[in-house]
Amino acid sequence: MTMKTAPLFIVAACSLCALAQEKTPSSAKIHRDAAGRPDLSGIWQGIGVSLFGETGEVRPGEGRASTWGPPPGPAPYQPWAAGKVKELASDDRKDPNVQCKMSGTPRITGIPVPFEIAQTAKKTYILYESNHIYRIIPTDGRPHPADLDPTYMGDSVGSWDGDTFVVDVTGFNDKTWLPGAGHFHSEDLHVVERYSLQPNDTILYEATMEDPKVFTKPWQYRLILRHPPRDERIMEAECQENNQDLEHIVPGK
Amino acid sequence: MKTVVLLSILLVAPRAFAHHSFGAEYDSAKPITLTGVVTRIDWSNPHVYIYLAVKGDDGHLVNWALEGHPPNTLRRTGWTRSALKETDAITVTGWMSKDGSNRMAGREVTLPDGKKLFLGPPAQ
């Protein structure tokens, strides 16, 4: 981004903040579960052509912004790690998604297909269409297990900060990427997700990623999650049956 | 104009292949339009492939592979598995592969009845 375009970016980003605020009139009410907590249950999607359609169809009162809040800026990689990001980003064959591995947290939230949240009294389940990945998030106050084996999606525990559902995720392997090309991480990755249900039935999603082995400071990823306009069901979507791309990708793009 | 372009980038939701970036495999500078006969349909993940027999300048048939969105995305954007069948004559627009093989990223398919359906994302 040039110095000339930076102010425009900020103005546009602030417009998006305003857009998000505009959609949350204080008089509107959000749907709540039997315990009085915002009920996140339902099918959600952050981006993707099947959410907006090729013609840009949106529901009345909604824009097409997919992100909210201030722009997070570039991922704050340490200098040595930034070099590795550049190398990885130049070859899509190294992308775990292209290899059909599970997408990791929070990258899975931005995969352009829907997922379903099922909120129950003591656990919240997230069922992703992509690769049929699931997460089971206990909300009964239990901590993470003491000796976690590293996993693709990490271990999640949930709690409520007022009306915001907060999910603490740790215990990752280093085989996934964060959002963005080449954005690798270490097993020390720690993610805190915040799901904030809005009166217009969207969710403001924010994931804060910390990884002292590769980052110089925490980094945020934000999405507006919406209900898909139609076809409100999660379908099967495995990845490996006909993955021809690994043999046809040309590195160094 | 710059403002319009920038705002468009910010406000328009990304449209891309879920599985890989467009530029890793296809050349946005090489658009192509093909007309031919469908020889095979892989209604598969992570991409649907339509194979097309296209008559070359020398009269010989050349088989092309058209890559598209995965089945779930196509179903949500207007396709059904039976929208197309082998022996159908279609025209498809898209972009050529970078590796020189007879593959293309399919963008829009014109079906035998003239109906047009999007097969994949625009070039990026």
Render pLDDT for B62-92 as a digit per residue (tens, 0 to 9). Answer: 999 999 999 999 998 889 888 999 999 999 9
pLDDT in 10s for each residue of chain B, 124 residues:
344 333 333 344 456 777 888 889 999 999 999 999 999 999 999 999 999 999 988 999 999 999 999 999 999 888 988 899 999 999 999 999 999 999 999 999 999 999 999 999 999 7
From residue B6, give the alpha-carbon distance in Å to each of A61, A65, B10, B23, B63.
Answer: 22, 13, 6, 21, 40
Question: If pLDDT is split at 50, 70 and 90, which confidence band does A65 have?
Answer: confident
| Residue A61, min C-alpha distance to chain B (Å) | 15
Distance CA B25, CA B47 (A): 13
B45 min Cα distance to partner chain A (Å):
5
Taking the Cβ of residue B7 and every Cβ of chain A, the question of whether any pair is shorter than 8 Å is answered with yes
A219-225 vs A203-210, strand pairing mode: antiparallel
Q: Specify burial of residue A6 (Cβ count, 10 A radius: 0-12, 13-18, 19+).
A: exposed
Contact B52, B64 (CB under 8 A): yes
pLDDT digits (tens, 9 = 90+) for A82-102: 999 999 999 999 999 999 999
pLDDT at B47: 96
B4 CB near a chain A CB, below 8 Å?
Answer: no
Higher pLDDT: A19 or B99? It is B99
**Is the pLDDT score of A232 beyond 90?**
no
Is B13 part of the contact surface with chain A (CB cutoff 8 Å)? yes
- What pLDDT shows up at residue B15? 60
Closest residue in B to A7 (Cα–Cα): B3
Q: Assign A55 a pLDDT band (cuts: 50, 70, 90).
A: low
- Considering only residues 39 to 58 of chain A, which have any Cβ-Cβ distance to chain B shorter than 8 Å? 47-54, 56
Question: What chain B residue is nearest to A129 in terms of C-alpha separation?
Answer: B72
Query: Angle at Cα A239 formed by Cα A175 and Cα A232, nearest 5°?
Result: 110
pLDDT in tens, A124-159: 999 999 999 999 999 999 999 999 999 999 999 999
pLDDT at B16: 72
Domain B16-118 is of which CATH architecture?
Beta Barrel (2.40)
- ipTM attached to this prediction: 0.85
Query: Which pLDDT does position A8 carry in this prediction?
Result: 39
Domain residue ranges in chain B: 16-118
Q: What residues contact A85, with CB distance under 8 A and at least 6 apart?
A: A75, A77, A181, A182, A183, A184
Where is pLDDT greater, at B38 or A25? B38
Q: Which DSSP string corresponds to chain B?
A: -HHHHHHHHHHSPP---SSS-GGGTEEEEEEEEEEEEEEEEE--SS--EEEEEEE-TTS-EEEEEEE---HHHHHHTT--TTSS-TT-EEEEEEEEESSSSSEEEEEEEE-TTS-EEE-SPPP-
A111 touches chain B (CB under 8 A): yes
Q: Is it the case that residue A10 has pLDDT exceeding 90? A: no
